[in-house]
Every structure is written in C-alpha cells, then in structure tokens.
Amino acid sequence: MLQLKKWTGCRPAPVSAMLLLAVSILVGMGWLLAAPKQEFSENENRKLESTPVPTLSTILDGSFMKSSENYVSDHFPLRETLVSLNTSEQLLLGKRDLAANYSTSPAQGGVYFGKDDHIYEVLLPDKNGTFRDNASALAEFAGKSGTSLTILPVPSGSQEQPENLPYSAPNHDQRQELDALKQAVGQKATVIDLFDRLSLKAGGDYYFKTDHHWNTYGAYIGYSALSKAMGFPCVEQSAFEYRTVPQPFYGTLYSKAVNTWQKPDVLVIPYAKAQSSVVQVTGKKTHQGIYWEEYLSKKDKYSAYLGGNPSVTVVKNPDAKGGKLLLLKDSFANSMIPYLSQNFSEIHMIDLRYYNLDIYKYIKQNGIKKAAAVYSIKQLCDVSFANKLRR
C-alpha cells in the first residue's frame, strides 16, 4: 500500500545562504551610504534622485518612501550596466517600443531600434489638441504681427526613414499635421513641405542615429528650402569647412534606452570660410561666434550650437546684408544658424517654451518685418505655446 510521509513543514534555508543574503544587503547599504554620488546621469540625460530627508509630512503622504525607492534605483551599484542589460533583454524578448509611458496624458511613445544603427522616436497622434492650438496661434500671429511669416515644420527621422523601422512597427503619419497646418494658416503664411527632401530616397541620411535632431546636412536642406521660400540667397555648402568632432556623440534617443553595443554618432559642424564678426547676445552677455566648444567634450554635444536654448538670443553679423529676422524656434533651428547668419545682420531667436513677455511689443521695439518659425512637428504636438502668440 502507498504510505504517506508525515509533513514536517518547510525545510529551513541553509545558514550559508542566509549569511550570503545578509552580507549582500549590508554591502549594498554600505555602497549607497559611502559611495560617491552622481547628481546627473550623462547617459540618460536626467537629474538623479537626491538623498531623501524624512519629515512628518513626507512620511504621512508617502512621498518619502517613493523618493527613497527612486534614490536606491538611481544609485544602485553597477546601475548603468544593469540598465543596458535590461534594454538588451527587452529586445531579445521581442519588445519593440522601448522606454514608452502610455499612462501619462498625453501618452509618451518610446523608441525603436532600427536598421543602420538608427534609434527612432515612436510617433503618436496628437489626441490632446496641442498641435491644433499651436497651428491656430501661428495663423493668428501671421495675421496680426505685421511680419511676413514662413513656417518650416520638420518631420521626424522615423517619418522620413520608415524603411529602417522594425517590421510592421506602428507609427503615426506626420503628413496629417502638415496638411492641418497648411489649412489653419491658409494664405496668411507660407508653409514649407520638407517631407520628400529629407527622406533616404533623396540621396542622403539627414538625421542623427542616436539623437532626435537632423544632422548638419539635414539642417542645410532646411536652410536651402527656407531661402527659396523667403527669397534670400542660399549660401553654397562649398562656402563652409565641415569639421568632424573626434569625440563620439550619443544623443537624446540613446538616453531613453541606454545600451553598450550602440555605435555613436559622428558630429560634423560647419565653419564659414569667409571671416566674419558673428556674435551672440543673450541678455547682457555677449559670446563670440556660433559655437560653444566646451560642449564638444560633454555628452550634450548638440548644445555646442548656441550653448543651448535661451528664451532670447540675438545673433549679429555686421557683414550680412539681409537685415533683421525674427526666428520662432525649437532646438532644430539651432543647427541652421551657421547658415542663416551669413544672410541676416540680426537674427532674433525666441524660444516660446521659455519666453514669457509680449512678443508683439518685442517685434515693434526691434523694427522686425521678416519672421520664420522652425519647429519639429513632434514638438508642435507635445508642447503648447499658443497663449504666447495670441494677443
């Protein structure tokens, strides 16, 4: 007959395993307490959680525990190696849309790892009406600012290079925004269609592989299209010396899904061969030239253009003959400035994400008659600046 053995309960863990676990916990705690802390992750391009300080209110509302969890996660030993391994694991498991957050409003798409070492933004439709409001505000600005406005909406790399995306990867078509913008502004402004000119079929790769911006050559395509639409002379590429930055460049898309096997970008920047006296004026500070070369030794190398995105920067070139230009912009416009500065004696660059004064008053005070708006279509969908342009 089958005999049942008497259950004696769970077998206790070996003492050696318990000691190993205890030592691991103590070592981890010791590392968190004693190891030098980073305040900013260059690879992920974000500020890391600072040491949490408990107070009665933060303990009661639970924010202290949340901050503690984030602190441990941000300062865990070998964290960046583990982040890279996590990216590799997700790809091996067949996940395509990495670093997405669809619980937010608006939802945030992640990135695709595509062909030819490219990382691409996952494009989503604008469901919150941000693009519609921005397009309507640009139309109102065109009608009331007293300037002749030309709008250059820049499509994303994943829009222009769909053949490099993973097979059957979902991706929103940004031509819908282009058509909506044209309809919104009507005859009040000129809207430039760059879609075919920036595609791989046009004969070049005009986007960075690890960053969401267009590269130097893509910026020149945008510049030449703007010159044709606005009627100013297009300076030939032969008028510039293109210098390759020796340090590797890892951009914003790499920061969303860090991986150790990703090949870096090559950053090429143009210098005008003809001598000029270009200066940048930001507030009361003056900077000689276009570039802030100290950024070339940092991860954020794209900020070598103009030193980032101040709310207002005036680029002056007394040798240029084209007068003044108002440039409403996001960071895509920064890499066009080496070219545009050869045409205009003053370029008044305003980043509406950070500018909070009366733009109509600014135009009148500075006697500006020509205006351009250079924005990535994704930025027009993600960030609202409509209230800054309405009177």
Q: How far apart are CA 243 and CA 234, in angstroms?
A: 21
Backbone angles phi, psi at 17, to 5 degrees: -65, -40
Say yes or no to pLDDT of 23 above 80.
Answer: no
Alpha carbon 285 to its chain's center: 25
Say yes or no to pLDDT of 22 above 60.
Answer: no
Residue 59 or residue 111, greater confidence: 111
Going by pLDDT thresholds of 50, 70 and 90, the confidence category of residue 80 is low
Say yes or no to pLDDT of 64 above 70.
Answer: no
Q: Is residue 154 part of a domain?
A: yes
Q: Is residue 8 part of a domain?
A: no
Q: Is residue 260 part of a domain?
A: yes
How many domains is the chain built from? 1
Domain membership of residue 347 as a residue range: 119-389
| Listed residue (324, 332, 380, 329) closest to 355, CA to CA | 329
Q: Is residue 23 part of a domain?
A: no
Could you tell me if 349 and 329 are in contact, meaning their C-beta atoms sit under 8 angstroms apart? yes
Q: Is residue 90 part of a domain?
A: no
Rounded mean pLDDT of the chain?
Answer: 86
Residue 89 or residue 336, greater confidence: 336
Q: How far apart are CA 268 and CA 256, in angstroms?
A: 23
Residue 230 tokens, joined: 């606005």
Q: 3-class SS at 316? A: strand
Q: In one letter, which amino acid is 280?
A: Q
The CA angle 135-369-198, to the nearest 5 degrees, is: 50
The CA angle 259-264-265, to the nearest 5 degrees, is: 140
Q: Is residue 130 part of a domain?
A: yes
Q: Is residue 53 part of a domain?
A: no
Q: Is residue 96 part of a domain?
A: no
What predicted TM-score, i.e. pTM, was given to this entire model? 0.82
* Helix boundaries (H) for 93-215: 130-144, 157-160, 175-185
Cβ count near 287 (within 10 Å): 16
